[in-house]
Amino acid sequence: AQLAVGPKKVKEAAASVEERTAGLTKPLAEMLGNWDNFSFAPIRESTVSRAMTRRYFADLDTHAESDIIIIGAGSCGLSAAYTLGKLRPDLRITVIEAGVSPGGGAWLGGQLFSAMVMRKPADVFLREVGVPFEDEGDYVVVKHAALFTSTVLARVLAMDNVKLFNATTVEDLITRPDEDGETKAGVRIAGVVTNWTLVSMHHDDQSCMDPNTINAPVIISTTGHDGPFGAFSVKRLVSMKQLEQLGGMRGLDMQRAEDAIVKNTREIVPGLIVGGMELSEIDGANRMGPTFGAMALSGVKAAEEAIRVFDL
């Protein structure tokens, strides 16, 4: 008897269509229940190709000369991109991410758990970007790490002056002799060498697959701690003899690690600022594990430092 739908129920349902679609925009609401005559606007396949490739290659052309390049779009790189894009809409900012999906380790809070913890005062960044959180006193909790990452990502991608090239790996750094010769290192970083990530992964079993290049006077490297991809720039600084050796990331100590990462976010050799967990490999800082406040604020500081260096 409960399943039977009498005339009264049908009338009620019809009367509540507007109620049931409240919250949707009118054009989408009008689609509901109207699928019989549905069809897409016509298109030719080559139009789709051209719509994508024209824009991609125009972006490659424009960003071949960038003002600031960010290597790595994890939580630190994305926070840096947001801050830079907001503070300096006049600068051309290029973000290069090896993975297909930007976000690095920030899609989960820790282990395979959803919630993301940030110690205060990193809540200021969440307020800035518009990510809701629960206030737990000394720390705050975002209900899903993916909410943080997708929100920052959406803000960054919507900025006219920022372009993300994902599935693209930085394979090397472009260097110049340091003109003022003041630093022991003796070089200035002047850009990055890139390749499709899938190509980068096959240098051992394919013959010469030369890379591409992007010039910029300031680079921010946020490639994370050592691993298959991580700590890219600082390891390269050692092999090109610009750093004697790496300190190597130490064991986990949240208390020390987070303060150290923010404090030590800085220009390592002229033109190259390092932030986030990549930094722990230079300084021998502790690992922080599943707490992300230092990543957001290291990104903010890296952006401030990049603007200072750019304006010199």
Q: Is 170 in the site for ligand AHZ (CB under 6 A)?
A: yes
DSSP β-ladder status, 68-71 and 218-221? parallel
Judged by beta carbon, residue 77 or residue 270, the one nearer ligand AHZ is 77
The C-alpha atoms of residue 76 and residue 94 are separated, in whole angstroms, by 15
Q: 87: which DSSP letter?
A: H
The C-alpha atoms of residue 54 and residue 60 are separated, in whole angstroms, by 10
Contact in structure between 264 and 302 (CB atoms under 8 Å): no
Among the listed residues 96, 109, 110, 101, the one whose alpha carbon sits nearest the alpha carbon of residue 146: 109
Q: Is 226 in the site for ligand AHZ (CB under 6 A)?
A: no
Contact in structure between 103 and 298 (CB atoms under 8 Å): no
Provide the CA 110 distance to its chain's centre, in angstroms.
Answer: 18
The answer to whether 65 is a known ligand-binding residue is no
The C-alpha atoms of residue 38 and residue 34 are separated, in whole angstroms, by 7
- Contacting range for ligand AHZ; rule: CB under 6 A; set: 36-44, 117-125, 141-149, 219-227: 219-227
Give the shortest CB-108-to-ligand AHZ separation in angstroms: 10
The C-alpha atoms of residue 81 and residue 163 are separated, in whole angstroms, by 10
Q: Is 106 in the site for ligand AHZ (CB under 6 A)?
A: yes
Judged by beta carbon, residue 94 or residue 223, the one nearer ligand AHZ is 223
Q: Which residues of 150-183 are buried (b: 16+ CB within 10 A; e: fewer)?
A: bbbbebbeeeebbbbbeebbbbbbbbeebeeeee
The answer to whether 251 is a known ligand-binding residue is no
Give the shortest CB-199-to-ligand AHZ separation in angstroms: 13
Judged by beta carbon, residue 143 or residue 250, the one nearer ligand AHZ is 250
User: Which residue in the set 151, 175, 222, 265 belongs to the binding site for ligand AHZ (CB under 6 A)?
Assistant: 222
Q: Is 99 in the site for ligand AHZ (CB under 6 A)?
A: yes
Q: Is 71 in the site for ligand AHZ (CB under 6 A)?
A: yes
Count how many Cα atoms sit within 13 Å of the Cα of residue 117 in the half-sphere of its side chain. 14
Q: Is 232 in the site for ligand AHZ (CB under 6 A)?
A: yes
3-state secondary structure of 107: coil
Q: Is 293 in the site for ligand AHZ (CB under 6 A)?
A: no
User: Which residue in the set 174, 216, 218, 295 belongs to the binding site for ligand AHZ (CB under 6 A)?
Assistant: 295
Would you give the binding string for ligand AHZ spanning residues 248-287, x where CB under 6 A is met? ----------------------------xxx--------x
Q: Give contact residues for ligand AHZ (rule: CB under 6 A).
A: 71-77, 96-99, 104-106, 169-170, 222-224, 229-230, 232, 276-278, 287-289, 295
> Residues forming the annotated binding site for substrate?
76, 97-98, 105, 170, 210, 225, 277, 287-289
Binding annotation: 76, 97-98, 105, 170, 210, 225, 277, 287-289
